[in-house]
Amino acid sequence: MPLQWIKLWIDPCLDGSIRTEFTLEERGLWYELLLIAGKGQGVARDKRPGYLERKMGLPLTTMEIASRLNVPIDKVNACLPKFLKAEMLKQDNFGTYYVVNWSYYQASTNGHKKPSPDVARLRRRAKLHELANEFPADVNKLATPVKINEQGILMNPEVVEDKDTGV
């Protein structure tokens, strides 16, 4: 079943930096972005937890966010950079906004039990995607050079040959 509610942590909301660094309007937009980030994750949806996307890999545009939340686009365009600077949101390599530490703050979908296998799978996929964005692979470094000795045995290049056997 898709996620029907999100957690809001009381102390950070009432006493944290969000209260002092953002206006009431900006905080309202932030909480509604959290709702969008939570909507759609679960068994029947193909969406990563914490991402502002229509479906996996298809980001919501700022116009779509503004339309969905029924706010002027200039308000969305003004708030998103602030949330990025405060490291509340990040963008992946494809321009999809996602909530930083979503899986930490939304650790359980039902309050006490472990998340369903489908939610856990989506969280793992989101974490792998996040790591892939932080540490992009250099394809030129993925291939390890190999060496084959006279007997046709594949050698690891770091292994020093034994002078007696030639292996």
Residue 32 is part of a domain; what is its CATH number? 1.10.10.10
Q: Is 4 within a domain?
A: no
How many domains would you assign to the chain? Answer: 1
- pLDDT given at position 44: 44
Distance in angstroms (rounded) separating the CA atoms of residues 158 and 61: 49
Q: Is 85 within a domain?
A: yes
Q: Is 112 within a domain?
A: yes
Q: What are phi and psi of 53, to 5 degrees?
A: -145, 155
CB 127, CB 103: distance < 8 Å: yes
- With 0-12 / 13-18 / 19 or more C-beta atoms within 10 angstroms meaning exposed / middle / buried, residue 151 is exposed
Enclosing domain of residue 84: 10-138
Exposure on the CB side of residue 39, measured as CA atoms within 13 A = 13
Q: Is 24 within a domain?
A: yes
Q: Is 111 within a domain?
A: yes
pTM: 0.62
- pLDDT given at position 54: 84
- pLDDT given at position 82: 96
Low-confidence stretches of the chain (pLDDT < 50) are: 42-44, 111-113, 160
